[in-house]
Every structure is written in structure tokens, then in C-alpha cells.
Chain A
Amino acid sequence: MKRDEALDMVKESLAEVVPDADVTALGPDDKFREALEIDSLDFLSFIEILGRRTGFRIEDEDTAHLTTLADSADFLVARTADGS
């Protein structure tokens, strides 16, 4: 997966979880859980949606890599490069 694609997927997933949020205003290194007031239930939906979009399963322990747009995109790129 290209990084641009990964970034779009993360943004789209966030927008789906918080439909009223302005994801475009989010900086690459902003902690989106704080910026968008995403609580643990919303975050769980985000993981589900992102997993569905990317086609691979995101485990509980992966969530440490999903805090900003930049690290989330990096995580997706690395994961798809593994072939896992």
C-alpha cells in the first residue's frame, strides 16, 4: 500500500466514526483521539472500520501504533509490506 492511500484510508475511517468532525484540519502529528474527542468506544469503531477497509485484522496490541495520522499511515504501510 502506498503511503498516500494509507493516509486517505485513515482519514476516511476517522470521518466515518465522527461524521461531524473536520478531519482535513487534522495535522499529521496531532493525537486524533484528543483532537476529535474520540473515546474508547469510538476508537473501537475506528479499528473495525480501518480493518474492513484495509482487509486485515488490527489486534489490540497494534493500537499503540495508531495515535496520529502519520504513525497510523506508517503502520499500515509497514503491515502491508510484511505481506501479513
Chain B
Amino acid sequence: MAEFTMPSLGADMDEGTLQEWLVRAGDRVRKGDAVAVVETAKSTIEVECFETGTVGKLLVDPGTTVPVGAALALIEPAGEPGAPKEREKPDKPKKRRRGDEARPEEREAQERRPAAQPAPGPAKEPVPAPAGVNDGVRGDEGPLIRHLAEQAGVDLDAVHGSGPGKRVTRADVERAAAARRLPARITPLARRLAGELGVDLSGVTGTGRDGAVRAADVRQAAPGPTAPAEQESSGAAAASPSAERRPAGMREAIAGLMARANREIPHYYLSTTVDLTAAMDWMHEYNRHCPPGARLLPAALLLKAAARAAREVPALNGFWTDDGFSAGRGVHLGVAVSLRGGGLVAPALHDADTLELPQLMAGLKDLVHRARTGRLRGSEVSDATITVTNLGDQGVESVLGVIYPPQVALVGFGRVVERPWAVDGLLGVRPVVTATLSADHRATDGAVGARYLTAVDRFLQSPEEI
């Protein structure tokens, strides 16, 4: 029996509050599935499972705050009861012991025909299912599938189930999500309330503009007696006392981490100005020919160039620990996102160096949206190997940032501005951006940093190839 423990979601986290379980005892889980929602000082995060197996016992009740490393649940690994208590990083490839769990190819096969492995968990909670659609078997999807559906904004009742007994499977949800048009908007307050009141957002009809789900819609849909009027007037803060504390907690967490970074990391700083004429021309041309929803922003090109350059200069992509530098597995680009209530988070765009620009742009939108209104996943808040901060929107031309420990570099981009620029002895007006690098002098020297910024510049001169 393996322990599922409170993970460390960043160097600044000592403890977390288990807010909600997304699974029940007896549920089958796969490595990488979101199984619990944890609230930290900075944000609410969906925590993924490190094992494939069956959930044994849930050890911690929602609302409990426990230190990092404390056991939250027991998981019976697939095929080997009593497997060693060993934590696996979500995307760290590990040699599998014989019988440990399904081989990747087998698991893939299971994913393709999930009907063969229905979640056995009995449905304890009533599942909303309108008469006529329900054939008596619906509602056995289990919380994981319902969670997936909710996350994707898919209405389970409208999905044709391909599993046994017309059960809706993971593949059905994914198909429905892919086929779906733009998600209806859900206001942040509504999303939070839905969590508080246990309302399945996929079943809520929005009465806001263009079907946006508002707090009032969620209260309407909440089971049990209608929410009392006092709750109506007291709003979000009262509905979630922990959220009220967050700005202070967020400040404290940032203060602790940045003080440590400044104390421990001998930073050096480099800066260069990059001509963006080619990049902007290419982007405007691209945007002219693509559907409005698929347009690119300069940020997408800058992030891609930063990620490609990190692959080229691996000494800046990784972590500094007591033992020295260890290179990151893949380029997971942390993207600093400022939150509307103040503070910031820097979740990772996984394998950003391999994403095509449209994918990267979509990933960026999704990440920023979830950082601000929804939930980030544990792997996103803990995996970044190098971080980019883009303060262009704030109107400044350059940013010399503080590194996020244990990373060893932070890349900064300022605003894209038009400036006089000499080319071949002639003066012209060109869009330029100031790219900066803050790097850890323990891990690299200025020459390495210079190579990095030069590479960023070079990639931005050939936008069609990044």
C-alpha cells in the first residue's frame, strides 16, 4: 500500500489544506489523475496521483491543514499489494518493476478502450439526471469522470456513454470536450461557490451575458434549501474564509521565497535589445489568415524563443540543490502570471520548446485563465525548469527579476516598443523588445548567459522556424 502524501507545490510551501477529495475509497486512479484539491497560501491546486492503482483509505478530511509529506490517503498499486512507499514525480520516467503496474503500452490500450475498466466505485451521491435520458444505469461514472467532465465543461447527461450499461467513459468525455464549442464563461465567484456548495457546473444554466454562469445561477442550482439572503449579501469572502486570508498568505509566501532567493543566489544580470520586425510582420500575417480565436500574441513568440534557447543552453534550464546543478528533464517554462487581487504565480507550460506556436498560444491562454479563475495542477506549479516574466502589458521596457529557487535563471521581456534602429548604416523605426536574463552565478557564468540571450535573438529573427 503506497501513501499519497501532501506534495510540495513549490519551494515556498510548508503546508497545505486538503479542500476536497475528487476520488473515493475503491476508485481506480491512474498516475497523473487529479485526485484531490489542495489549497496553499498562494492558490488552489489540483493534486495529481503518483501511482496507478486503487484508492484504499482516505486519511484526511476536507478542511484539514497538514504539513508537506503527510500521508493523505493510501493507494493500492495496481497488481502489487504492499508495494514500497515510494514517491514518483509525475513525469519522471522510472523503470517499472515487474508486476508493478500496467506497462505504458498496456495503459495506453486501456485508455483507448476504457470501457474494459469501468470505475467500480458505487455512486453515493445523487447525480442529476433528467428523466427520459436516464436508463437506470447512468450515474455510475464515478467522481473522476464527473470531475473530468466538469473541468471540460461537458454535460454528462448529454454525452452518449460507450461503456458497459451506457456508462460514460473518460474517452467519451474527452471526445465531447473536443467537439464542444467555446466554454460558457463562469465567473470566479460562481466557480468558487460551486465548489463550496457542491454544485456540478456542467449542469448549471447561465443567465449572464452569452450564457455566462454567475454566482446567482450556482446558488439557484445548489441542492437543499435556497441559500439564505445573508450569504447573498456577504459575497465571496464569507463563502470562503480561507480565500479571504489568501492575499496576506500570498504576500507572505512570496516574501519568504524571494528573500531566500536574494539571500542565497548570487544573481548576475544581462540585457539585450531584440529587433522584432521579422517576428511582428510574420505574426500579423499569420493572424490575418487565421480564425479570430486562434490569433497569436507577441508573448507566444517570445515564450517559444525563450524555450528553444533554454534547450540550446541547458546549463540555464534546471535546478540548483545542495549537490550542485541538475539539468531539467525537458523545458518546462514557468510563466509568471499576475493575479487580479494582487500577487503572482508562475505555473509551467510543459515541454514548451516542442510546442508549435498555435499550441503554445492555446496552452498559455488556458494556463493564465486557470491561474486566475480556476485551478492549476500540482505538476504545473512544481515542474518549471526556467521562468519567464513578461511585463510588457504593464508598460515597462525591461525587467531584471529575482530567480525562483531552486531554478537557476529567470528571463524577462518588456514591452514591444517602436524605436529608431540602425540597419546597414540607415536609420529606421522598428519594433524592439528588451530581453533580460537573471542567472545564478553558482551555476553559470556570464558567457553562458550571453549565449542564451543571443539564441533568443536568433530564434526571433526566424519566426517561421520557431
* Residues of A with C-beta under 8 A to B393: 39-40
Q: Is the CB of B209 within 8 A of A12?
A: yes
A40-B297 in contact given A19-B185, A59-B287, A60-B284 (Cβ < 8 Å): yes
Considering the complex, give the chain B residue whose CB is closest to the CB of A33: B393
Given known contacts A59-B288, A60-B284, A61-B284, A41 and B368 CB-to-CB distance under 8 angstroms: yes
A19 touches B212 (CB 8 A): yes
Q: How many A-B residue pairs have CB under 8 A?
A: 47
- Which residues of the partner chain B approach A15 to less than 8 Å between Cβ atoms? 209
A37 near B: Cβ within 8 Å?
yes
Interface size on B, residues (CB 8 A): 26
Residue of B nearest to A57 (CB): B292
B interface majority secondary structure: helix
Contact B368 A16 (CB under 8 A): no
- Known contacts: A40-B297, A41-B368, A44-B295. The answer to whether A16 contacts B209 by CB under 8 A is yes
Q: Report Cα–Cα, A60/B298, bound state, in Å.
A: 11
Q: Is the CB of A20 within 8 A of B188?
A: yes
Complex contacts, B419 vs chain A, CB 8 Å: none
How far apart are the CA atoms of A20 and B188 in the complex, in Å? 8
Contacts of A59 in B (CB 8 A): 287-288
Beyond A20-B187, A20-B188, A40-B392, whether A48 also contacts B212 by CB under 8 A is no
Determine if A19 and B287 form an interchain contact, defined as CB atoms under 8 angstroms apart: no
Q: A41-B368, A51-B292, A60-B287 are in contact. Are A16 and B210 (CB under 8 A)?
A: yes
* Nearest CB in chain B: distance from A76 CB, A: 16
The number of chain A residues with a CB under 8 A from chain B is 19
In the complex, what distance in Å separates the CA atom of A53 from the CA atom of B168? 35
| Residues of B contacting A61 in the complex (Cβ-Cβ under 8 angstroms) | 284
Interface centre among A16, A44, A59 (most CB of B within 10 A): A44
Task: Provide the A49-83 mask, 1 if CB < 8 A to any CB of B, else 0.
Answer: 00110000111110000000000000000000000
A47 to B340, CA, bound (A): 20
CB under 8 Å from chain A, chain B span 327-369: 338, 340, 364-365, 368
- Give B residues with C-beta under 8 Å from A: 185, 187-189, 208-210, 212, 214, 283-284, 287-288, 292-293, 295, 297-299, 338, 340, 364-365, 368, 392-393
Not counting A20-B189, A40-B299, a sample of 6 additional A-B residue pairs whose C-beta atoms are within 8 angstroms of each other reads A16-B210, A19-B188, A40-B297, A40-B392, A48-B293, A58-B292
| CB-defined A-B contacts under 8 Å, sample of 5 | A16-B209, A16-B210, A19-B188, A20-B189, A57-B292
